Amino acid sequence: MTRLHRSETGTQGAGRIARAQLAEALRALGQRPLSDKAVHAARKSLKKARAMLRLLRPSMGRAAYHRENAALRDIARPLSELRDARVLLQTLEQLARRSRGGRPSGIRELQRMLRLEHAAVRASLLQGDGALVGQLQALREAHHRAGRWRVGRRGWTVLGAGLRRVYGQGRRTLALARTDPAADRLHEWRKQPKYLWHELQVLEPLGPAVARRAGLAHRLADALGRDHDLWVLRATVAAKVSARAGRRRLIGLIDQRAERLRAQAFALGHALYADTATDFEAHLHLLWRSWRHRRRRVRPV
Would the pLDDT of 301 be above 50? no
d(CA 173, CA 184): 11
How many CA within 13 A on the CB side of residue 131? 22
Domain boundaries, the chain: 10-291
Provide the 8-state DSSP code for 297: P
pLDDT at 232: 92
d(CA 95, CA 84): 16
Mean per-residue pLDDT, 256-272: 96
Would the pLDDT of 93 be above 80? yes
Q: Which residue has the higher pLDDT, 132 or 291?
A: 291
* pLDDT tier, 96 (very low <50, low <70, confident <90, very high otherwise): confident
**What percent of the chain has a predicted confidence (pLDDT) above 70?**
94
Tell how far CA 28 is from the center of its chain. Answer: 17
User: Across all residues in the chain, what is the average pLDDT?
Assistant: 91
Nearest CA to 118 out of 75, 84, 91, 80 is that of: 84
pLDDT at 130: 63
Nearest CA to 134 out of 83, 81, 76, 53 is that of: 76
* Amino acid at site 24: E
* pLDDT tier, 126 (very low <50, low <70, confident <90, very high otherwise): confident
* pLDDT tier, 162 (very low <50, low <70, confident <90, very high otherwise): very high
Would the pLDDT of 300 be above 70? no
Residues 6+ apart with CB under 8 A from 266: 174, 177, 178
Nearest CA to 167 out of 208, 202, 211, 198 is that of: 198
Largest CA distance in the chain: 79
Mean per-residue pLDDT, 229-236: 94
Planar angle of CA 189, 192, 198, nearest 5 degrees: 150
* pLDDT tier, 2 (very low <50, low <70, confident <90, very high otherwise): confident
Mean per-residue pLDDT, 62-90: 93
**What percent of the chain has a predicted confidence (pLDDT) above 90?**
73
Contacts for 123-128 with beta carbons within 8 Å, 24 or more apart? Answer: 125/39, 125/78, 125/79, 125/81, 125/82, 126/33, 126/34, 126/35, 126/36, 126/39, 126/82
Would the pLDDT of 11 be above 50? yes
pLDDT at 131: 67
* pLDDT tier, 100 (very low <50, low <70, confident <90, very high otherwise): low
Fold of domain 10-291: CHAD domain (1.40.20)
pLDDT at 183: 79
Tell how far CA 89 is from the center of its chain. Answer: 20
What's phi and psi for 242, nearest 5 deg? Answer: -80, 160
d(CA 291, CA 8): 13
* pLDDT tier, 298 (very low <50, low <70, confident <90, very high otherwise): very low
Would the pLDDT of 101 be above 70? no
Cα four-point dihedral sign 83, 85, 90, 95: positive
Q: Are 71 and 143 in contact (CB under 8 A)?
A: no
* pLDDT tier, 207 (very low <50, low <70, confident <90, very high otherwise): very high
Nearest CA to 206 out of 297, 287, 282, 279 is that of: 287
Indicate the range of 3-12, 134-143, 183-192, 277-286 predicted with least confidence.
183-192
Q: Are 232 and 194 in contact (CB under 8 A)?
A: no
Tell how far CA 179 is from the center of its chain. Answer: 24
DSSP alpha helices (H): ranges in 241-276?
247-272
3-state secondary structure of 8: coil
Mean per-residue pLDDT, 122-130: 75
